[in-house]
Amino acid sequence: MGELNTFPVSYKVKGQRIVVVGGGEEALNKARLAAKTTASVVIISDEATVSFDGIDHELVSGHRGFGALEGAALVFVAEKSPVADAVKAEARRRGIPVNVVDTPDECDFYVPSIVERAPLTVAVSTEGDAPVLARLVRAQIEAMLSPDTGRLARLAGSLRGRVAATLGKLQARRFYEDLVTGVGEPEALLDAHAGEAAGEVWLIGAGPGAEDLLTLRAQRLLQAADVIVHDQLVPDAVIEMGRRDAERISVGKKKGHHSFTQAQINALLVRLARQGKRVARLKSGDPMVFGRAGEEIAALRKAGIGYRIVPGVSAALAAAADTATPVTLRRVSPGVIFATAHGADSAELDHWAALAGAGLTLALYMGKSIAMETAGKLLRRGMRPDLPVGVVANAGRRNRSLYRATLGDIAADGADMADGPAVIFIGEAVAHGDWAAAEDLAVAKFKVA
Ligand code: SAH
């Protein structure tokens, strides 16, 4: 993440003045903005070329300009003139922040693009670098917020005293969440939240590791969670999509390095939920695919704790998308098998080989370090050495790497691949994908159909 040269704040101007120097279009724009606040607007101008009708303001002529700075919170300089220069210098001397229109270098503060649903304001700023971008982003946010948002925010404000008196901290937050998202009417919600807060666990699929491959539901629940319990494989950027002040617990199950056993994780989830917390159990990909969800769900059921499951984009599907590989394909591959190479026994390997022989695509998880060994075992079970193999490391992420080879190549040479989790595809369907950007793991690569 980059660093900001500005610090976004909402600056109090109530009962003070906002001074605008100038009599043209730019001055009018700033005066309009200023008039949205409860500050009094003072315009310093000797010859206005626009009409300030409709804006409640006081007009002061240039030579009396300094007086207008008395009690001023902010100054906008919207013209180039000796008066403007003098006011600017005097404001600086008095320590009043100045904005010189269209001259970023001379600005003490910038004016963000604003979405306003008073008292809610959303300010979008690019520190003056890209006002057009700021306007586009603003338009998107504008479309996202219902016109009712401001009313609900005011309502929340007016209920604060009562809520504080009747609800605990946790119930209060949930009450406000339900209120502002329009889940129910205030009185009914107050009653509904007055009881003991019940804890819950949400098993949420984080997808392969790109923020924008998180589902909207996953994001919404991450915002509502009190605690986020996540695996090592979920990148920080995805966890950052959660509520800022949610507690975060990494149960970092790295391969060969278990900081938490599965039993400990199960116990942790039950304990947190019993404390009344809403727990987001964030797992990479889809929670139901090689995610140990089965064990966690069983533990929650046994403890009588409510749970919900939110699907995510599983690694194999992200890898298929990255390489335009249709993992099922008419007349080529009648199905796809999600399997793990890790710990597969002889009988399992026999089945895979038979299924692959029938054309099914194998999508192997957790197999990178044992790719060579697994390929050898599959060959010994009669799989064809010329079967295409495609590997995607860091699927769905910006730093993805693609590799292609044949089953025979991998069995002979192994595979030297980038760091990070990888999915291995084996089957004819692979040759129908777009692996042009892939590195060849061996000379005898498969031919793309
Ligand atoms: N629930 C996850 C799988 C967890 S098991 C899912 O549905 O994707 C961990 C294995 O998933 C890794 O060994 C690797 O094979 C695969 N994996 C997870 N994220 C990946 C990614 N971004 N790119 C490639 N493979 C990934």
As annotated, the active-site residues are: 231, 253
With 0-12 / 13-18 / 19 or more C-beta atoms within 10 angstroms meaning exposed / middle / buried, residue 164 is exposed
Domains (ranges, CATH) in the chain? 17-111 (3.40.50.720), 198-313 (3.40.1010.10), 317-440 (3.30.950.10)
pLDDT of residue 444: 46
CA of 219 from ligand 1 middle (Å) equals 20
Rg, Å, the chain Cα set? 30
Residue 25: both structure tokens together: 């279009």
| pLDDT for the residue numbered 448 | 55
Residue ranges in the chain whose pLDDT is less than 70:
1, 253-258, 442-449
**Residue 423 CB–ligand 1 contact under 6 Å:** yes
Write down the pLDDT at residue 55. Answer: 92
Q: Is 366 in the pocket of ligand 1 (CB under 6 A)?
A: yes
**Percent of all residues in the chain with a pLDDT value above 70, rounded to a whole number:** 97
**Distance of alpha carbon 284 from alpha carbon 267, whole angstroms:** 20
pLDDT at 56: 92
What pLDDT was estimated at residue 258? 60
Of 218, 155, 214, 206, give the one whose Cα is nearest residue 181.
Answer: 155
Which atom, in ligand 1's list, is nearest to the CA of 424? Answer: 15
Strand, coil or helix: 150: helix
Mutation test of ligand 1: which of 253, 366, 369, 394 has the most ligand atoms closer than 8 Å to its C-beta? Answer: 366
- Do the Cβ atoms of 349 and 378 come closer than 8 Å? yes
Residue 446: predicted pLDDT: 56
Question: What ligand 1 atom has the least distance to the C-alpha of 209?
Answer: 22
Which residue has the CA at smallest separation from atom 3 of ligand 1?
290
Q: Is 189 in the pocket of ligand 1 (CB under 6 A)?
A: no
